Structure 1
């Protein structure tokens, strides 16, 4: 399987102490990976990754905190109106940057069986086949994000990074995927976790961009 973040030599102040102090969760499809404040890879500083797959063959997710400036309408006009603002492509990770992955949040009470081209990840969040008919979904979707590229790990690689404290695992909310540009998703997610993670929600380093 293609891999994303390089093998890091992290596990610094934040990684060791915070990870050891908190109850550890195992990643599952639909959970979030929160980059530790001292994440050594600049590509993942203040990043939040939404986990799409996690099993014995490896792990795959998309960074939900990195936006491009390319409007979805320029390439996928039929899907653009379903995208939550800002309706631009999001940069899911360094693997296969020419690959598109679309995630939709269905409205509350919507039966996914009434629409084709959906694969449930968790709760109301589904992967949508961009070759399917958008008109079948239009009235059932609360919001959508389209990602270019993804982040992946070979078997055991993600666990090694978790053991070093590079990432914290947390449950997700549908609103995390659809957050507008003015929301600091990294800080927002940290603030709703158990202590001591909320203490680092305001951590800022030079060049941070959310």
Structure 2
């Protein structure tokens, strides 16, 4: 896999993709994507900063009470938008449950929404539910990274379930070392600079 940027980091599960200003695709402009899988066959992830107005309890009543604030579905990406995908953080020190949770990377894992909520109660620190996901075919994401469309940076546990996701991209960039942090202060319209 080539496709490295922002200090030479390759795309991998648990990493974030932060859209560069040159990425104008409306599906991804100004987004932060948490990668859930990335290998030679392609990559998938979810957009962390696109809340919808739809309350989780309207579509998945059992899960509405345990999702993080705001308790709404998030637009995870343009693929399979009729489906739901749940990403969670395990409580500190909790052993990975035998059923219903699949570790992804670091503190992140996927939750099986068909498992009863009670089976995971008390084990999850935070849950976010996404309508759809972002997907790339073999080599596609690496090509976009090589073209400068994405910054690849490490994720932190708090990135998944921020109550106010509007400034997530700026905050993620601000904590990066070196020149990448400068991008956090760029205006939305560079011509205004």
Contact residue 36 and residue 44 of structure 2 kept, 8 A: yes
Structure 2 unpaired stretches of 5+: none
Distance across 1 between alignment mates of 2:139 and 2:172 = 25
- Equivalences for 1:47-126 in 2 at 5 Å? 47-113=31-97, 115-126=98-109
Once the two structures are TM-superposed, the CA of residue 22 in structure 1 deviates from its matched residue by 4.4
RMSD: 1.8
Aligned pair 1:186/2:162, yes or no? no
- Length, aligned pairs only: 187
Once the two structures are TM-superposed, the CA of residue 63 in structure 1 deviates from its matched residue by 0.6
- SS of 1:109 mapped into structure 2: coil
- SS of 1:25 mapped into structure 2: coil
1:43 to 27, 48, 60: 27
Contact residue 53 and residue 72 of structure 2 kept, 8 A: yes
- SS of 1:80 mapped into structure 2: coil
Distance across 2 between alignment mates of 1:171 and 1:22 = 10
Distance across 2 between alignment mates of 1:182 and 1:157 = 27
Aligned twin of 2:131:
148
- SS of 1:200 mapped into structure 2: helix
Contact residue 85 and residue 110 of structure 2 kept, 8 A: yes
- SS of 2:86 mapped into structure 1: strand
- 1:69-108 per-residue CA deviation (whole Å, 9 max, x = no partner) reads 0000111111112111001000011111111100111111
Once the two structures are TM-superposed, the CA of residue 37 in structure 1 deviates from its matched residue by 2.1
Once the two structures are TM-superposed, the CA of residue 125 in structure 1 deviates from its matched residue by 1.2
Contact residue 16 and residue 153 of structure 2 kept, 8 A: yes
Distance across 2 between alignment mates of 1:135 and 1:94 = 31
Aligned twin of 1:161:
144
Misfit runs of 4+, over 4 Å:
19-22
- Output the TM-score relative to the length of structure 1: 0.84
| Structure number having the greater helix percentage | 1
